[in-house]
Amino acid sequence: MAKGSSKNIVFPEGFNVNKKRTGLGIALNEDRVIALKAEISSKGIVVLDADEQVLDSGTLGNGKINDLDSLLDSLKKLKKRMGFKAKYVTTNLPHQFYFMKRFVGPEGYFSASLANIEWEIKHHINGNISDYAVSTVNTGKTDNNKTNTIILASHHRVIDERSEVMTRLGLSLSAIDPDMLAIQNAIAVALSNSLEKMVMVVDASSPYTAFSLLSNGVFYPGGFFPTSKKILFGKDEQAVKEFAAQIVKVYNMAYRIMGLSMKKKKPDMLIILGRLADEAFNNDLASALDISLFDGNPFHTSTVKSKMKKSDIPWTSLIKPFGLALRTDHD
Amino acid sequence: MTKFLVTDLLTPRVVKTPRKAKSSKGLPKVGKSFLVIVLFMVLMILAAVGWFVVRPQILAKKGQQQQIAESEPEPVQPAKQTPNKPPKKPIKKPRGKGLEDIPWMCFYKPLLNSIPRARGNLYSIVSGPEGVLLFSGVVPGENVEIDPKKPLLPGMRVENPKIIEVNPVDGGVNYVVQADMIPMDEIDFDPEPIPPYMRGQMLRQIDSTAKAFELSDVSSEPIGNEDVKNGSRYLISLKAQGSLEQIKKFVEKMENSGKMLEIGQISLEGMEQQPLISDEIRLGLVFRLYNIELNIPENKPEISDTLKTTDSIETAKSDTINK
């Protein structure tokens, strides 16, 4: 754990607090772009500003940028309103554009050399490995003291496409993070001291819903599935029940290898984020899944404060750009 | 403890450059020529010493030995065994007794035959840890539940299938399944050991057989020698490309070579990201060539030699007991 100097704030291991900076994160979502600025220092994180711009219909289609000019217009409007003068930014990769695979083994079992990573990943992607950017990260120890390593791959085309958007906006890309890792990092920094033993995180958005697990502080990637039209167009009781049933199904499939299922061992806490998240929906879903719902605010904790005067955007939508802003290493 | 997860998808890849030979590194051109001349002269001196000094001594010694051999009487040949003895029939050896040291012998032919019967489309098969196979494919249909109890590959000799991963994709559900391999129950030939002096020959045989079955981009190389129980084994890797039919024929030919040979690792994946049945396949194999003494108590030569006629292991056993 990295420790802050003055207030003894405890940050998660791997988080860079040595350099005081203003981080900017921009999340390119299917129907809107959301930007967030945060001041990062060893004294804590202060959210300075956040705003969103709804995109014209069809600008993005299933995550793919169909109309670059329209997207740039929207981003420029956002930039003008927020008045950000940053040079660097971190943006996101939607769930459908990356592949994430967890490996478990004794310490030193998996050597993260390029050849090893490529060998592992090429058995899971339908494409030429040279077309993919690959990376690994050690996520911590399992309960039985084994090491979790995550291998990540994303097509260069998607990364280049999003990088070009930021370049044309006059920004340099500091990093590009998968949606689920951005959310995980935000939770790790803001909430790690106040979470239950096993927390399920659900990003209920369009066109996909994704989920992951945080067990004893260790991140376990889950998966994603197409969000049904029924829940997108009406969150009535029946639609929520069906949505919950789908989450149970994919959860059981994803974590079967870890011996987890909603029947045998369900999470202790549920965090629901994303476009679908609101108070009523979150309560209905938590009740359908019979899991306690997280009801705090990650922007008012011992490590994170907010200076935003008023924002109509709920924290459930801001958590992703917040996680992205934390990854920006320069102003 | 919670970690802040930092990945790096932006760093451009470093282009791999071919490795240069270390010996020539840093030597100037003149130095290289000088080294070549010196080496040549040393070789010439050694050859001259060999011709004029060592060769006459060897010839003299050989002449003495020949004289001794010519003076000795010819040894009397022992009388041959009775011709009434029927020829030995090949004995089927139960797996798990005699060939447990070559566990995956003849395993891959049935596996390859089962690929066209796979549920949905199979995209890759790869070896995991020893005795474990990983295979991935796509079962058509939206939100289809992949039940590992329903065989995804009917006829494949695997058990304990576990779903590693399931992802929805266009038109179906992509799965990765891990399963334990079940060794063959029996084989119908007596495998011959491959002693060290035959390893080079086997390497050439594997390579040329692959080419004979019209596999393309064939490259094979020895990758090591390992000590195992009762002997040693030699590892040869082979990479090639070809259709499933060509690969099946090649694997069948090698597995039925009559030698103590097994495929230790396999990797099959489509070149164009199409199902294995319709794509050109990139093939990777590791052959293990054994030089071991098989531990088959029922088939020990001293037992069978004591019998006048032996049709089966059971007869051999009972006869030995009756004596």
Please name the residues in contact with A208: beta carbons below 8 A apart, sequence gap of 6 or more.
A94, A95, A96, A224, A225, A226, A227
User: Which has the minimum average pLDDT: A114-118, A134-138, A281-285?
Assistant: A114-118
Percentage with pLDDT > 70 across chain B: 67
Residue A159: pLDDT above 60?
yes
pLDDT, average across residues B167-184: 83
The pLDDT value recorded for residue A89 is 95
* Closest C-alpha to A46, from A94, A7, A74: A7
The pLDDT value recorded for residue A110 is 65
For residue range B266-299, list pLDDT tens digits in order: 999 888 778 898 889 999 999 999 998 876 555 4
CB contact under 8 A, B163 and A225: no
* Least CB–CB distance from B5: residue in A130, A137, A223: A137
H or E stretch covering B61: helix B55-71
Q: DSSP assignment, residue A186?
A: H
* Least CB–CB distance from A177: residue in B1, B7, B164: B7
Residue B59: pLDDT above 80?
no
Residue entry with tokens 């994946």? B269
CB contact under 8 A, A184 and B5: yes
Residue A69: pLDDT above 90?
yes
Q: Are B146 and B163 in contact (CB under 8 A)?
A: yes
CA A257/CA A145 separation, integer angstroms: 17
The pLDDT value recorded for residue A305 is 93
The pLDDT value recorded for residue A195 is 80
CB contact under 8 A, B1 and A154: no
Mean pLDDT of chain B: 73
For residue range A246-276, list pLDDT tens digits in order: 999 999 988 887 888 998 889 999 999 999 9
Q: Are A234 and A121 in contact (CB under 8 A)?
A: no
pLDDT bin (cut points 50, 70, 90) of residue B176 is confident
The pLDDT value recorded for residue A200 is 96
Mean pLDDT of chain A: 89
Q: Are B163 and B177 in contact (CB under 8 A)?
A: yes
Q: Tell me how close the Cα of B289 comes to any Cα of chain A, in angstroms.
A: 25
Percentage with pLDDT > 70 across chain A: 95
Residue B83: pLDDT above 80?
no
Residue B153: pLDDT above 80?
no
pLDDT, average across residues B19-23: 38
Q: Are A299 and A315 in contact (CB under 8 A)?
A: yes
The pLDDT value recorded for residue B47 is 76
For residue range A166-196, list pLDDT tens digits in order: 999 999 999 999 999 999 999 999 997 778 7
B231 or A210: whose pLDDT is higher? A210
* Least CB–CB distance from B1: residue in A124, A140, A173: A140
Please name the residues in contact with B188: beta carbons below 8 A apart, sequence gap of 6 or more.
B90, B92
pLDDT bin (cut points 50, 70, 90) of residue A245 is very high
The pLDDT value recorded for residue B72 is 40
CA dihedral B302, B307, B310, B313 (to 10 degrees): -50
The pLDDT value recorded for residue A7 is 55
pLDDT, average across residues B180-195: 84
Give the global pTM.
Answer: 0.57
pLDDT bin (cut points 50, 70, 90) of residue A37 is very high
Domains and CATH numbers, chain A: 6-96+156-186+299-327 (3.30.420.40), 195-293 (3.30.420.40)
* Closest C-alpha to A181, from B3, B165, B12, B13: B3
The pLDDT value recorded for residue B33 is 64
Q: Are A68 and A328 in contact (CB under 8 A)?
A: no
pLDDT, average across residues B45-62: 69
Cis geometry, peptide bond prior to residue A207 (ω within 30 degrees of 0): yes
Residue B108: pLDDT above 80?
yes
A residues 88..127 contacting B (CB < 8 A): 93, 101, 114, 122-124, 126-127
List the single residue in B with minimal CA-CA distance to A258.
B164
